[in-house]
Structure 1
Amino acid sequence: MPDKQGHVYIMTNTYRTTFYIGVTSDLRTRVWKHINGEGSAFVKRYRLYDLVYYEHFHRITDAIDREKQLKNWHKDWKINLIKSVNPTMKDLKEELEIE
């Protein structure tokens, strides 16, 4: 049986001041749940409804390892990572066709 694929993703608020790092095997569904109040309580409390970063992995275990790594990073490192692929830190939900 092949390994399940996964994603690491970063959600943030309108002001880009608070970040949430998560892992999922279904990015579109997970982001939809977050923006509709069905995701993490942290995301809901701090209104982290903008997807600003995501990475795809062929194995969910690799995504989980990457999530653990990123959660230990300083905030500035996370911002630099996001800006390396998304310089304006725009909301990427459109790329996933999520409304």
Structure 2
Amino acid sequence: MASDEITFTIEADDGSSDELTVPADMLDLLAEEEDESSATVVGDLALISCAQRIHGAVHHGHGEAGEELEAIEEETLDRFEERFGQSFAEMTGHDH
């Protein structure tokens, strides 16, 4: 049975935008709370993905990450903890 789809428009401060269409049922499954909005679920997923990618670049990439990349990771992980109320390490069980 095909799921209904939901489309999100993502707009950035620089004027760029993108659209993303995903199965609505997937968002229902991923919601932490019954009344959590689809937009919140997608926002959570976006931040989790960003945190995973910057963490991978800093700690699992080839060579030294450098101070700039480490500062970006630190800022990202701070925002992660603000949003989720726990650290990336606590949420994922992956700590360095």
Q: Return the index of the structure with the highest Cα Rg.
A: 2
Higher RCO structure, 1 or 2 (CA under 8 Å, sep 6+): 1
Same fold, judged at TM 0.5 (above): no
Structure holding more strand per residue:
1
With normalisation by structure 2, the TM-score equals 0.30
With normalisation by structure 1, the TM-score equals 0.29
